[in-house]
Structure 1
Amino acid sequence: MALKVELKPHERIIIGKVVIRNDDQRTRLFIEGEAPILREKDILNPASADTPAKSIYLAVQLMYLSQDLSPHYEAYFELVRQFLEAAPSALATVAEINNRILSGDLYKALKAAKSLIEYEQELIAHATRGDRLRQGGPNDPIPQGA
């Protein structure tokens, strides 16, 4: 059974090692066979990997697209080690990513890495809220010095 993919005008998709860019019209593709496929919304480039979780996602993405773990394995595990030192509460998600990689299900590892990015954003938002509360702004319901 073929995979049906609809592309918006000018949307990109990676199929294997090839980037395909759509023209001015919506397009429907039917992809037959096995190849790594990523839609533009799921593609992360090195310049936009600006957080630790995004760097982990990028490493998994490179594994997925190349279908070869070895060039990315060492960097991936170093990034994971550093991430877990800073956020040990992410262990379950990181374990899921690792298990997916080790079982060869790199697409699902990529999906789990995307959830790690969301978790990281929650941690950052929580820390930012905490900083604002500790600063004791004028609209802060917690009295200064409390």
Structure 2
Amino acid sequence: MSGLVLKLAAGERFVVNGAVLENGDRPSTVRIADDDARVLRCRDALKPSEVDTPTKRIYYAIQLIITGDLLEEDVLPAIMNECRRLEDVFETIDTSLLSVLRSMLERGNYYSALCHLRNIIAIEAELLKVAEQKSQQNLQAQVA
């Protein structure tokens, strides 16, 4: 059996090819058999107000492709350019992070790309946290 398997909570919403679907009143499992289907769990969706970093901008753009709000051919080149730009930042951590992401995007595997991006967003958050701590230490050293 191939395809994407979603385990859904009662009442959970998800998007398939731009259509919002809602699970019934019991937990269930849904198999999306079409490999070309564009799927997004609503609980995984970012709100526009949460898009405040480069990797979250990539995530949000992919999310909008899945929901049908943006056209793949219009946005994908810009996403790929942003991935290339961020490679320098992430190459010291894992040289394959963004190349794997680009490969998923090239194949149109957007659900997997979002799952992969959640890991990158977590790494980015740690990098930003370290940078903020260093900035605070530098500021304290200047004041003292």
- Say yes or no: TM over 0.5: yes
Q: Does 1:90 align with 2:90?
A: yes
Could you tell me which amino acid in structure 2 is paired with residue 89 of structure 1? V
2:78 paired residue number:
75
In the alignment, which of 2, 7, 26 is matched to residue 9 of structure 2? 7
Give the direction of change, closer, same or farther, for the CA distance of 1:125–1:60 in structure 2 (3 Å limit): same
- Give the TM-score taking structure 1 as reference length: 0.69
CA RMSD of aligned residues (A): 3.0
Give the direction of change, closer, same or farther, for the CA distance of 1:78–1:135 in structure 2 (3 Å limit): same
Could you tell me which amino acid in structure 2 is paired with residue 41 of structure 1? R
Could you tell me which amino acid in structure 1 is paired with residue 88 of structure 2? P
- Structure 2 residues not aligned, in runs of 5+: none
In the alignment, which of 24, 36, 39 is matched to residue 38 of structure 2? 36
Aligned 8 A contact 1:56 1:76 in 2: yes
Deviation at 1:49, TM superposition (A): 1.8
Structure with larger Rg: 1
- Give the TM-score taking structure 2 as reference length: 0.70
Aligned 8 A contact 1:12 1:39 in 2: yes
Could you tell me which amino acid in structure 1 is paired with residue 99 of structure 2? A
Moved more, 87-96 or 122-131: 87-96
Give the direction of change, closer, same or farther, for the CA distance of 1:30–1:53 in structure 2 (3 Å limit): closer
Aligned 8 A contact 2:8 2:23 in 1: no
1:141 paired residue number:
none
Aligned 8 A contact 1:62 1:72 in 2: no
* Aligned residue pair count: 133
Identity value in percent? 25
Aligned 8 A contact 2:101 2:117 in 1: yes
SS in 2 for 1:50: coil
- Structure 1 residues not aligned, in runs of 5+: 138-143
Give the direction of change, closer, same or farther, for the CA distance of 1:100–1:117 in structure 2 (3 Å limit): same
Structure 1 runs of 4+ off > 4 angstroms?
Answer: none
Which one scores higher on RCO, CA 8 angstroms, separation ≥ 6? 2
Q: Deviations over 1:8-62 (max 9, x none)?
A: 44x3211221112456x44425345323222222222434322211001122333
For 1:99 and 1:126, how far apart are their aligned partners in 2?
29
Deviation at 1:123, TM superposition (A): 0.9
